[in-house]
Amino acid sequence: MLNRDNLYAWITALQQVYSENKEYLTDLDSAIGDADHGINMNRGFTNAIADLEKNQPEDIDAILKTVAMTLIRTVGGAAGPLYGTFFMRASTACAGKTELDSADVVALFEAGLGGVLQRGKAELNDKTMVDALTPAVEAMKNGLNNGSGLGQILEQGTAAAEKGMKDTIPLQARKGRASYLGERSIGHQDPGATSSYLMLKTATEVWG
């Protein structure tokens, strides 16, 4: 079971991961986007940590909502609205809960993905974060249905997200700034799918 401290630990670890991978994500984005994805993710989660420390939300859903509002407010480009919506929907899935079991964690990620799909209007193989999150959520649901423990569920989700991320390389972008490049977007790994993979990977490392 995960509690509020486990959620804080995940968000704190995400800030560290996005800080460490700021240049990597920005390099990926420079090939097919605005060259700011790593900068934006680092800024957003740095601000999220500051807001969490200032407001000290007690409930799991309040923690996730605080992160959502901060990302929407402080992150530019598509990442702010999309990741903000992910965490906002995740907070709704956790409403009223003081602890999360394996099914709750899967529901958190599934709700987040649903928000991203609705907000961004992207589909699988459009070369976006959806290409990492969709197979991750499916793998996690399968793991849950097969009776796997949380650690194994997260590992399966992370492995699926990593494959989905790498599978964006040969795709032609059909959404976002990268879509303007047409065939020139082929051969590049999508930065949003990469940051989504890192989000799953970090959850596995912190909660697994």
Q: Tens digits of per-residue pLDDT, 113-172?
A: 999 999 999 999 999 999 999 999 999 999 999 999 999 999 999 999 999 999 999 999
DSSP H or E run through 14 = helix 4-20
Task: Report the greatest alpha carbon distance in the chain.
Answer: 48
Q: Is residue 177's pLDDT more than 80?
A: no
Task: Tell me what percent of the chain is helix, strand and coil, each rounded to the nearest 5.
Answer: 75, 0, 25
Q: Which ranges of 124-172 does DSSP label H, i.e. alpha helix? A: 130-145, 150-166
What is the pLDDT averaged over residues 67-83? 93
Residue count (the chain): 208
Q: Name which residue leads in pLDDT, 142 or 179.
A: 142
Q: Residue 135 and residue 115: Cα distance in Å, rounded?
A: 16
Q: What is the pLDDT of residue 131?
A: 98
Residues 133, 114: contact at Cβ < 8 Å? no
Global confidence as pTM: 0.96
Tell me what the pLDDT averaged over the chain comes to: 95
Looking at this protein, which amino acid is placed at residue 207?
A: W
Tokens 């969490």 correspond to 52
Confidence band (pLDDT; 50, 70, 90) for 95? very high
Domains by residue range for the chain, with CATH: 4-207 (1.25.40.340)
Q: What is the pLDDT of residue 185?
A: 81
Q: What is the pLDDT of residue 82?
A: 97
Confidence band (pLDDT; 50, 70, 90) for 78? confident
